[in-house]
Amino acid sequence: MTVSQQVSVLERLQTDGVLAAACPTRTVLDHVTSKWGVLLLVALSESSRRWGELRRDVEGISEKMLAQTLRTLEGDGLVHREVTATVPPRVDYSLTPLGTDLVSRLLPLMEWILENADDILAP
Amino acid sequence: MTVSQQVSVLERLQTDGVLAAACPTRTVLDHVTSKWGVLLLVALSESSRRWGELRRDVEGISEKMLAQTLRTLEGDGLVHREVTATVPPRVDYSLTPLGTDLVSRLLPLMEWILENADDILAP
DNA sequence: CGGGATCCATACTGATACTG
DNA sequence: CAGTATCAGTATGGATCCCG
């Protein structure tokens, strides 16, 4: 990414929002960067997952926050919820096209964190 | 990004951490995606800024969270703090090379949010 | 100007119990 | 299996006042 591109993004962030309070993009940013939102989106990046799988994939998440975060992401149109009316019931979660697009921007960031976590926490 | 790349990133996230609890990368992720951390990093993306400038740039941030978040980011080696001992005192904040590198991964995400916020919140 | 200290409200977490 | 409901404890954020 060139410097001129960086500047233009920053300028648009200032005028259109994000850095401005009360801007709708703040809400989206909060959802996307929420503690569990990122991890769930990443966990869904490869394939659709069932409730119990997500609960195991994302270690440490409580059932309450799992349900709450999934509902938020579903409401944002990032995650698709599909119920199969069987006994026992089966519910699959998957990324929507919008969610897939978002995750493609998210994974480079996660990869960076993975590679640099040691540098950050070591000193 | 290809599918094979996505899979490899996810697999490394599962084995090396992030999705695993008690992993150091979780801490880094929390700092980077903290409510104000993202906005401050972006605000610093173009040039170094003074305390008062950041306070105005990032609308809605309280002085407490500004100080707290800046100290965290400084401790993570992402932000550099430079004090000029004058009267009145002057303190400048800027991105470290590590911080600059991180922001280059962060801006595409912010740009995506900017472009898709309407689609997410409208329905 | 650039913070630190304090108090309060909210959000999150954890444990448990219950349901279709 | 996939949740919902509730309560209690904790962590986090915000508002305010104060200081060198």
Return the HEC string of chain B: CCHHHHHHHHHHHHHHCCCCCCCHHHHHHHHHCCCCHHHHHHHCCCCCEEHHHHHHHCCCCCHHHHHHHHHHHHHCCCEEEEEECCCCCEEEEEECHHHHHHHHHHHHHHHHHHHHHHHHHCC
- Please state, rounded to an integer, the average pLDDT across all residues of chain B: 86
Locate A72 and state its tokens: 């938020």
- Protein-covered nucleotides on strand C (Cβ within 7 A): 1-6, 12-17, 20
Distance CA B42, CA B59 (A): 13
Question: Would the CB atoms of B60 and A1 count as touching at under 8 Å?
Answer: no
CA–CA gap between residue A23 and residue B88 (Å, rounded): 34
Closest approach of A88 to chain B, Cα-based (Å): 27
A69 burial level (CB within 10 Å; 0-12, 13-18, 19+): buried
Specify which residue's alpha carbon is closest to the C1' of nucleotide D13: B65
The whole-angstrom distance between residue A34's C-alpha and the CA centroid of its chain comes to 8
Residue A2 pLDDT class (50, 70, 90 cuts): low
Between CA B2 and C1' C16 the distance (Å) reads 45
Q: List the A65 CA – C12 C1' distance (angstroms).
A: 8
Q: Residues of chain B with pLDDT > 70: what percent?
A: 89
Nearest nucleotide, CA B89 to C1'? C1
Q: Name the residue with the least CA to C1' distance from nucleotide D5.
A: A64
pTM above 0.85, yes or no: yes
The per-residue pLDDT for B28 is 86
Question: How distant is the alpha carbon of residue A107 from its chain centre?
Answer: 10
pLDDT at B8 over 70: no
Integer distance in angstroms from CA A82 to C1' D6?
28
Residue A94 has pLDDT above 70, yes or no: yes
How many angstroms separate the CA atoms of B48 and B81, rounded?
10
Report pLDDT digits (tens) over A50-83.
Answer: 999 999 889 889 999 999 999 999 999 999 999 9
Which tokens hold the place of B82? Answer: 């430079």
Q: How far is A87 from chain B (nearest CA, A)?
A: 30
